[in-house]
Amino acid sequence: MHSSKKLKAYFLRLLTHKKTTTFDIKNAKNILFFRYDRIGDMVITTPVFRELKLAFPEIYITVLASKVNRGVLVNNPYVDKVYINYKNNLFRDLPTLLKLRNKKYDVCVEFDHSVIPHSIVRLRIIKPKKIISVVKDGRYGVKGSELELYDYFTEKSKDAHFRDIWLNTLNPFLVKPKSKKYELFCTNQQKNKAIDYLLAFQQKIIIGINIEGAVKGKKITSDNLKKICTSLYQAKKDLVIILLSSPEVYSDIVKLSQQMHLSYVIPSYKTKTILDVAALIEQLNLVISPDTSIVHIASAFDVPVVSIHENNTDSFRLFGPKSKFSRTVFSEFSDRVDGYNIDNIIRDSMDLLKNNES
């Protein structure tokens, strides 16, 4: 076991060894960002693209995104080009990676705080002049600071949210963010569709509930959903509850709403993209959701949100909602979101609605 670790450490050092290049990062003209993971991560990263572009309008910004999260950047005026990456399929990615290599990027920013082999391989293929990363924990006994592939490691304080950790990657450019707000750019057509859909409920308080996230264990069960809905209605009769969904589970959400037999609970219209969902969320009075991208989208529009989070202080510190109109109810478990107090959800929901009205 010890020899296996030593061998992995040897190859990690070998893979991350590189000669120093003399290039001043402040002269960068084209920058590539690695962000090929989940939707929520991309939403949290949107201030990075905006603040860099506002500071240096001439810089060409490219993002290597995932098929899942690329939709967050549609219509984003601060991003010039988006490519799709499949992190578990290097051969499928190779044509894209070689295309990126030919563009001779001045700088690449990699947001992972861990040592990620698939990111390292892609960086070696693309060969940017300089590489910025969040300070790394190390792997196989190799310290992050020993990885010569990276030219700059940015700060990662123990009490920081990922929004601020990722914004720190702008430090080498001497950029001080003027705003940390998340941004999504829905079209007028998407906004009008949401507004038209909600016209029938204009005299009602409209609450959106998202029942699950992308990660296993982050789900509101059907039993708890019904308890939440009936408790909300008992606390405030003039409301309608809309069940949010992705296209993949839309039919399940429709069936679930029918099975509940509650006249004030309905499914949303079928959305095709994450910006379709965002346009609807922007029009709501309140959102209730497990810790997932929906929480960050609500935060982007300052829509009041009650998030349900596993009992994990590190995870909450890194991914909790960054909005003055948010409350969080914690599960009693560290790896899933069941075991929370429904009364706390209702109390926080009523408080947010009251504060929003005033």
CATH number at residue 332: 3.40.50.2000
**What pLDDT score does 58 carry?**
97
% the chain with pLDDT above 70: 99
Mean pLDDT of 2-11: 78
Answer yes or no: do 128 and 193 share one domain. no
**Which tens digits make up the pLDDT trace of 315-339?**
999 999 998 899 999 999 988 888 9
Answer yes or no: do 32 and 105 share one domain. yes
Indicate the average pLDDT of the chain. 93
180 in any annotated domain: no
Answer yes or no: do 19 and 87 share one domain. yes
Answer yes or no: do 18 and 92 share one domain. yes
219 in any annotated domain: yes
- Residue 5 pLDDT greater than 80, yes or no: no
**Which tens digits make up the pLDDT trace of 22-74?**
888 889 999 999 999 999 999 999 999 999 999 999 999 999 999 999 999 99
Binned at pLDDT 50, 70 and 90, residue 208 comes out as very high
**Which tens digits make up the pLDDT trace of 140-172?**
888 888 888 899 998 878 889 999 999 999 999
**Which tens digits make up the pLDDT trace of 273-296?**
999 999 999 999 999 999 899 999
Q: Which domain holds residue 262?
A: 188-357
**What pLDDT score does 158 carry?**
82
179 in any annotated domain: no
Query: Last residue of a domain, which of 173, 202, 235?
Result: 173
**What pLDDT score does 2 carry?**
66
Answer yes or no: do 136 and 49 share one domain. yes
Query: Last residue of a domain, which of 138, 173, 208?
Result: 173
Query: Last residue of a domain, which of 144, 173, 202?
Result: 173
Residues contacting residue 115 through CB under 8 Å, at least 6 positions apart: 12, 136, 137, 138, 139, 142, 144, 147
151 in any annotated domain: yes
Mean pLDDT of 292-314: 95
Answer yes or no: do 137 and 268 share one domain. no
Binned at pLDDT 50, 70 and 90, residue 15 comes out as confident
Answer yes or no: do 245 and 143 share one domain. no
**What pLDDT score does 260 carry?**
94
% the chain with pLDDT above 90: 75
2 in any annotated domain: no
Answer yes or no: do 192 and 167 share one domain. no
**Which tens digits make up the pLDDT trace of 77-100?**
999 999 999 988 889 999 999 999
270 in any annotated domain: yes
- Residue 262 pLDDT greater than 70, yes or no: yes
Split into its structural domains, the chain has a count of 2
335 in any annotated domain: yes
222 in any annotated domain: yes
